Amino acid sequence: MTTLDEAAAWDMLTQAGAYLQGHFLLTTGRHSNQFFLLSRLSEHPAWLWRWAQALAARLEPFGAKTVVGPAVGGIIPAFAVASCWQDSRMLFAEKDTNGGMVFKRGFQIHPGEAVVVVEDAVTTGKSVAEVIQAVQQAGGVVSAVGAWVDRSQGPLQFDLPFIALLRVHHVPNWEPEACPLCHQGVPLSRPKGPTSVNRER
């Protein structure tokens, strides 16, 4: 199956616990009433495979056989997409001490090698832009970017063809001081962390 309709995508995300509604602390420090915890989709390989096949089919026309993902969230999506193609390679880039992305563990990009970058979710595109820079510094050529979910609210930090299986715009988010959920006393949670945070105002 190489297609994934929007209704099926939402159903899988909800059932997997990968789409949450509540009061959440985002990695940017802002607050929101919605959160995509897309790593939970990986708990269901059959569902993840459907997402991978759909994204791989849409990225295939760009002619790349090497897929690169940013650690940590992009590792499994990149691997899953690469597994849909014959003679493919999959690498991941990691943060360096300066906050950028670099290739470690012996990973190498060959000069002129065509690459697609795959991420789980794109918000600002900062991580993707850093991976693109790492690929370019290694001599590779990024032809497109793919993601499970595009939740961007404005211009992205990269200028390349961007394929997302699900586009979710207008997700509300607020600075902590302006968060209506904080003012209502709704407990704040960190979905990616081990515990919830209760915030008193």
Nearest Cα neighbor of 147 from 86, 83, 56, 41 is 56
Beta-carbon-side half-sphere exposure of residue 106 (alpha carbons within 13 Å): 0
The answer to whether residue 180 is domain-embedded is yes
Number of domains in the chain: 1
- Residue 39: inside a domain, yes or no? yes
Has residue 156 been placed in a domain?
yes
Residue 59 lies in a domain: yes
CA dihedral 59, 116, 44, 21 (to 10 degrees): -90
Other CB atoms within a 10 A radius of the CB of residue 9 amount to: 20
Range of the domain at 160: 6-197
Query: CATH number for the domain including 148?
Result: 3.40.50.2020
Domain assignment present for residue 91? The answer is yes
1 assigned to some structural domain: no
Per-residue pLDDT of the chain (201 residues; tens, 9 = 90+): 467 999 999 999 999 999 999 999 987 788 999 999 999 999 999 999 999 999 999 999 999 999 999 999 999 999 999 999 999 999 999 999 888 899 999 999 999 999 999 999 998 899 999 999 999 999 999 999 999 999 888 889 999 999 999 999 888 889 999 999 999 999 999 988 774 454 443
Task: Identify whether 191 is part of a domain.
Answer: yes
The encoded tokens of residue 111 equal: 């000069």
pLDDT at res. 201: 39
The pLDDT assigned to 83 comes to 97
Q: Tokens for 198?
A: 């209760």
Residue 167 domain-assigned (yes or no): yes
- Measured CA to CA, the distance from residue 1 to residue 199 in angstroms comes to 45
- Specify the pTM: 0.87
